[in-house]
Amino acid sequence: MADEPLILGIETSCDETGVGIVRGHTLLADALASSVEEHARFGGVVPEVASRAHLEAIVPTMDRALKEAGVTIADVDAIAVTSGPGLAGALLVGVAAAKGYAVAAEKPVYGVNHLAAHVAVDTLEHGPLPEPAIALLVSGGHSSLLRVDDLARGVVPLGATIDDAAGEAFDKVARLLGLPFPGGPYIDREARAGDPASIAFPRGLTAAKDLAGHRFDFSFSGLKTAVARWVEARQRAGEPVPVADVAASFQEAVCDVLVGKALDACRGSGIDTLVIGGGVAANSRLRAMAEQRAAKHGVRVRTPRPKLCTDNGAMVAALGSHLVAAGVAPSRLDLPADSAMPLTVVSVGPQEGTE
Ligand code: KG4
Ligand code: ZN
């Protein structure tokens, strides 16, 4: 609708420079420049390389998004930017750019939480999020279960990983299988030809003794080690490693735990909406398994299309739009880039600055 506010979102927390533009819940532009290929040979994101790439990409990506949406910066009602969490130098580029555009065009600016944006992006696909909802957030840096009562004002953490993030486990296992970085999409692809029941890999923190203290927490480091041991044993025996079977069995173990715990959180709280976000939410097996199992429990699963699951500017714009609609006050112009921004802080309040 033309009378809804036009919000521009800037994302630079990791290796994707994203600028998205939304009007209400309608996505108008989603421009992305990735430095992923510059990191691939290092097997992980190199912060300095990412910062430099953001610096080079930010203005062209901004121009592309405005052109794609058919608007000018003067038409925009507010600018949202990822304030954290993420790589400090990378975040700084986006935050500085947002401030520059905000001052030049006299627009309010919202410093927002990257993780809350991964949840908010689903509104572009499925409309307003029913609240309360349970959110499963699975990315390269985070794995959390949250209760979302009011996405504009805060989320309640129920549990999180105690070691590796889910995406990190995908990336590490891919590496030991000789697959490229980032490994998630490659494991996803390989797994399609494999048998998910061929190897019984461990399901972290699901034993009765662990559930008492860690009902909604995750652990993927034991699984990663189990995969490494299994692969080593094959190599020592001089036998070929069945990459597709290992990928499928590993992926099954991760998804089994994620879906099991997310549905347990729904059951435990009587909440019938589960939203899944973050890069790992692009995983085809996770999406299918969540749908299947949730249906049996009367839970509706909302997962944005894969392109919106991985980092992008549209998710930041979507959260900005939600904040504006909820009447949340913008941030101050000295809003920080906060690499350790807590999950519970959805946006930088008008009192918080860098002084
Ligand atoms: O949300 P995201 O783009 O960046 C962070 O905020 O971390 O997530 C990136 C992570 C990477 O670990 C990547 O391997 C994983 O998401 N990922 C996937 C898939 N696509 C991306 N993991 C499993 N299956 C996929 N299809
Ligand atoms: Zn992310």
Q: How far is the CA of 171 from the centre of ligand 1 (A)?
A: 8
Q: Are strands 154-160 and 143-150 parallel, antiparallel or unpaired?
A: antiparallel
For residue 142, give the ligand nearest its CA.
1
> What average pLDDT score do residues 4-18 get?
97
Helix (H, G, I), strand (E, B) or coil at 58: helix
Q: What pLDDT does residue 3 have?
A: 83
Ligand (nearest to CA of 250): 1
d(CA 135, CA 144): 8
**pLDDT recorded at residue 42:** 85
How do residues 207-264 score in pLDDT, each as one tens digit?
Answer: 999 999 999 999 999 999 999 999 999 999 999 999 999 999 999 999 999 999 999 9
Mutate to test the pocket of ligand 1, among 280, 289, 315 (most ligand atoms within 8 A of CB): 280
Q: What is the pLDDT of residues 168-207, one digit of tens each?
A: 999 999 999 999 999 999 999 999 999 999 999 999 999 9
For 140, the token pair is 């390269």
Section 20-25 average pLDDT: 97
The percentage of residues in the chain with a pLDDT greater than 70, rounded to a whole number, is: 99
Q: How far is the CA of 243 from the centre of ligand 2 (A)?
A: 27
Ligand number nearest to the C-alpha of 287:
1
338-351 pLDDT tens trace: 999 999 999 999 88
**Segment 42-65 mean pLDDT:** 94
Q: Which residues line ligand 1 (CB under 6 A)?
A: 14, 139-141, 167, 170-171, 182-185, 188, 278-280, 282-283, 310-311
Q: Which residues surround ligand 2, an ion (CB under 5 A)?
A: 139, 311
For the cut 70, the answer to whether the pLDDT of residue 2 exceeds it is: no
pLDDT mean across residues, the chain:
96
Residue among 286, 310, 339, 341 whose CB has most ligand 1 atoms within 8 A, to mutate: 310
- Average pLDDT on 277-305 reads 97
Minimum CA distance residue for ligand 1 atom 7: 140
CA of 168 to the centre of ligand 1 (A): 8
Torsion, Cα of 323, 32, 281, 229 (10° steps): -130
Give the per-residue pLDDT at 355.
57
**pLDDT for the residue 85:** 96
- Tokens for 256? 């089994």
Find all residues with CB under 8 Å of 6, minimum gap 6, and list them.
21, 22, 23, 28, 71, 75, 76, 77
Tell me what pLDDT residue 1 has: 57
Q: How far, in Å, from the CA of 118 to the mean position of ligand 2?
A: 7
Cα Rg of the chain (Å, integer):
20
* pLDDT band, residue 279 (cuts 50/70/90): very high
Residue 124 has pLDDT above 70, yes or no: yes
CA–centroid distance, 267 to ligand 1, in Å, is 27
